[in-house]
């Protein structure tokens, strides 16, 4: 998910990388790239490559700027999410979620204006469960269960959707969804010329 910022603000991530190597900004794939519809595979083992990917994803996410990024958005079809919902500019709260799965959802719903780094500069209100309980593995391989509500619940659902080949525009009316798809297909054709 993108970070909405005023023109005068910027993100300056001050965090130590997970690995000792330097991080790289990766290309974020966008509509109409068909890879966004792939179902990502579980991470079997946390390796140096997985840690390096997480570092690159943070670098990419902060540069975009965004608050959440799924590995498939950088063309890696594995079940890995990076997220930072720090509320104050200049502070960071980087989190990694590996093989996340929603265990339960509230009947109560919340509506947030969502956007997506893979659907640049398009925002729309989406209704989702207000609270979820989910299970995930952290970057050290420890399994956790956690409750999420508010923006955290929206963001974790949005990013898990990515891992399942679902985009936030799939929650819109058929007409709105078709308009968005048409717009991004046309832009891709123009960019290819």
Query: Strand, helix or coil at 39?
Result: coil
- Among residues 171, 161, 139, the alpha carbon closest in space to that of 39 is found at 161
- Give Cα separations from 182 to 37, 87, 101, 120, 186 (angstroms): 16, 35, 31, 14, 6
Active-site residue, from 59, 114, 124, 159: 159
d(CA 123, CA 160): 18
- Among residues 76, 73, 49, the alpha carbon closest in space to that of 63 is found at 73
124 part of the active site: no
- Among residues 22, 27, 18, 127, the alpha carbon closest in space to that of 72 is found at 27
Residues belonging to the active site = 159
């Amino acid at each position: 998910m993108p970070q909405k910022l005023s023109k005068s603000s910027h993100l300056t991530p001050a965090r130590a990388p997970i690995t000792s190597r330097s991080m790289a900004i990766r290309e974020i794939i966008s509509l109409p790239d068909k890879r966004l519809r792939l179902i990502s595979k579980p991470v079997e083992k946390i390796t140096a490559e997985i840690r390096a990917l997480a570092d690159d994803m943070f670098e990419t996410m902060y540069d975009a700027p965004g608050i959440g990024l799924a590995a498939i958005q950088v063309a890696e079809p594995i079940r890995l999410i990076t997220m930072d919902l720090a509320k104050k500019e200049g502070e960071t709260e980087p989190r990694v979620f590996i093989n996340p799965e929603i265990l339960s959802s509230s009947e109560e719903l919340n509506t947030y204006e969502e956007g997506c780094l893979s659907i640049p500069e398009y925002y729309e209100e989406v209704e989702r469960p207000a609270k979820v309980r989910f299970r995930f593995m952290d970057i050290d391989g420890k399994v956790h269960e956690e409750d999420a509500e508010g923006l955290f619940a929206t963001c974790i659902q949005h990013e898990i959707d990515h891992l399942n080949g679902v985009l936030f525009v799939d929650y819109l009316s058929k007409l709105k969804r078709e308009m968005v798809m048409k717009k991004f297909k046309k832009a891709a054709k123009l960019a290819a010329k």
